[in-house]
Amino acid sequence: MSTEENKALIRRFYEEISKGNLAVLDELVAVDQVENSPFVPGQSPGRQGTLELFTMITTAFPDLCFTAEDMVAEGDKVTVRGTMSGTHKGEFMGLAATDKQVAVGMIEILRIAGGKIVEHWNVVDRLGMMQQLGVVPPQ
């Protein structure tokens, strides 16, 4: 796939997840995807772990939205600087709903092969998220 096709795949991934369409994972994520930056300790490997993660996040933040601010592609990798935002309406990692809105910065690198995401790395501002949810006091 070309770099433009790879970027289009990631845009579609973000759009569908933002709509709550987790079925798109079957189409766009390899069964044996390698997760180099698990969001939660003990996250299951492969597509199953990605499904479990997005099920947890979209349940906690039903209006979840992923926005790609910048996207750069080279070879089989796409790098995204973006934002994950939503309103905390359900339990999230043991925290009851707060009705607070969050906007969290993230940087992701996704490797694509055969039209699927096969490897993923990310850095997410988890501290900022916990501060916005009121779990950790702002600095």
Q: Say whether pLDDT at 139 is over 80.
A: no
1-22 per-position pLDDT tens digit: 899 999 999 999 999 999 999 9
Dihedral through CA 77, CA 78, CA 79, CA 83, nearest 10?
A: -140
Alpha carbon 82 to chain centroid, angstroms = 10
Please report, for the chain, the start and end positions of each structural domain, with discontinuous segments joined by +: 3-132
The residues with which 121 forms a beta bridge, in sequence order, are 109
pLDDT confidence band for 138 (50 / 70 / 90): confident
Q: Kindly report the number of other CB atoms within 10 A of residue 137's CB atom.
A: 7
Contacts (Cβ under 8 Å, ≥6 apart) of 10? 68, 71, 78, 80, 110, 112, 117
Q: Which residue has the tokens 């092969």?
A: 113
* pLDDT of the residue at 57: 96
What's residue 39's pLDDT? 87
Q: pLDDT tens, 27-82?
A: 999 999 999 999 888 889 999 999 999 999 999 999 999 999 999 999 999 999 99
> Where does 3-132 sit in CATH, by number?
3.10.450.50
Q: What is the rounded distance in angstroms from the CA atom of residue 88 to the CA atom of residue 61?
A: 5
pTM to 2 decimal places: 0.93
pLDDT of the residue at 108: 98
Return the number of other C-beta atoms located less than 10 Å from residue 134's C-beta. Answer: 12
For 112-133, write each residue's pLDDT tens digit: 999 999 999 999 999 999 999 9
